[in-house]
Amino acid sequence: MYHDIYPARLPEPFKSYRLLSKAGVRGFPGIDSAQALLLSCLQDPPLPLAEPILDLTAHAGLSALTLSATPLLVERSASAIQVLTAQHLQHLVAIPSQLEGQFATLLAVLPADKGNDTIEELLQAAYRLCAPQGVVYLAGDKDKGFDRYFKWAKQQFGEGEILERHKGYRVAAVVKNKPDPRPNHPATLSFSQYPFQNRGTTLQIASLAGVFSRKGIDLASQLLLEHLPTQLQGSQVLDIGAGAGVLGAWAAAQGAHVTLLEDDLGGVLSCQETLRLNGLNGTVLHSDVGSALPPEARFDLVLSNPPFHVGSDLILDIAEAFIALAAQHLKRGGDFYLVANQFLPYEGLLASWAEVRTIARNKSFKVLHARKR
């Protein structure tokens, strides 16, 4: 089941450890390959690490089990946070650019799929949080620009070397031996902002690095909004996987009471900022699918543009969990509107509890309407 927590499949040299993980956590059912290479590099033979240690990308918490000293773990994903909590591993729920402090050693796995601006922000945060002469260990994917990021970091920090190359993955260490041009400069969140318009409503969307469709509204979400009912005054609306809050904020602007669920803390903060910018109210929950939603909550309307990835069962699991959540929390006769790529086979899952119709399609996407029986 989507919400179950399992022992992660660990590669050599970690076979003797017991680490928990779950669907939605990076690397599940195993662990992220770049993180595995980073930690095996620090452990075998053990590198003496100066404390305090900050792990900026904790995922399921492997560094807390394998390093010789205890790192402070940082995570932004609600699914990973559930796993850290289940293992009683102390952690901070934060995005790196919110953090303050000075650390002698930092660890960061560069998220290959989140785009340049996220990685640049992560490296900037690592630099700001690194004490003079401190070391940042970086891991990433060669085919996703690792060499370029390493070169940038080496330039910024002053010194660096590649420690390990294995398959497509790289581990590097950079040392902060260049004086910081902005010492003690405070943590700041930098939202990018864009306007969007749909059927007479104009909204400003605020978005942090790493949040879906940061530069402008996604074409699938746009298609969904073009086919939603506009008479939403007073209705209870749930937006699952809210991103920067485009769908939920639009519904709120039509007078709905909205609840937005988002796994990524960067998304949660973006949703809050989007609502604030437009003078709208709503409840934003940092939630792995429905993990933060009260079980008794009921909605008239549920909206979603679920995540998917070609060839990855994992992401389809998430979309399936979104559909199951909609079924559970809709009132009888309530409506679920979902937009998906043409080739994604969601109709069967919906038909088991709802009357399903395709209400719009274009070359790439279809909008499905499911009315709960």
Binding positions for ligand SAH, rule: CB under 6 A: 24, 79, 212-213, 218, 221, 241-243, 246-247, 261-264, 267, 287-289, 305, 307, 318
H or E element: which one contains 330?
strand 330-341
- Least distance between ligand SAH and beta carbon 97 (Å): 17
Tokens 């095996």 sit on residue: 40
- Least distance between ligand SAH and beta carbon 241 (Å): 3
95/289 with CB nearer ligand SAH: 289
- Least distance between ligand SAH and beta carbon 50 (Å): 34
Cα–Cα distance for residue pair 368/335, rounded to 1 Å? 10
- Least distance between ligand SAH and beta carbon 27 (Å): 14
Does residue 185 sit in helix, strand or coil? coil
For 201, counting Cβ atoms within 10 Å of its Cβ (0-12 exposed, 13-18 middle, 19+ buried), the class is middle
Does residue 347 sit in helix, strand or coil? helix
- Least distance between ligand SAH and beta carbon 84 (Å): 15
* Contact indicator for 57, 118 with CB cutoff of 8 Å: no
254/287 with CB nearer ligand SAH: 287
Biggest CA–CA distance in the chain, Å, is 65
249/330 with CB nearer ligand SAH: 249
Q: Does a cis peptide bond (omega within 30 degrees of 0) precede residue 13?
A: yes
* Contact indicator for 288, 79 with CB cutoff of 8 Å: yes
Listing DSSP states for 192-260 in one string gives EEEEEEETTEEEEEEE-TTSTTSSS--HHHHHHHHTS-S--TT-EEEEES-TTTHHHHHHHHTT-EEEE
48/311 with CB nearer ligand SAH: 311
38/224 with CB nearer ligand SAH: 224
79/236 with CB nearer ligand SAH: 79
At 333, give phi and psi (nearest 5°). 80, 0
- Least distance between ligand SAH and beta carbon 243 (Å): 3
70/204 with CB nearer ligand SAH: 204
- Least distance between ligand SAH and beta carbon 191 (Å): 15
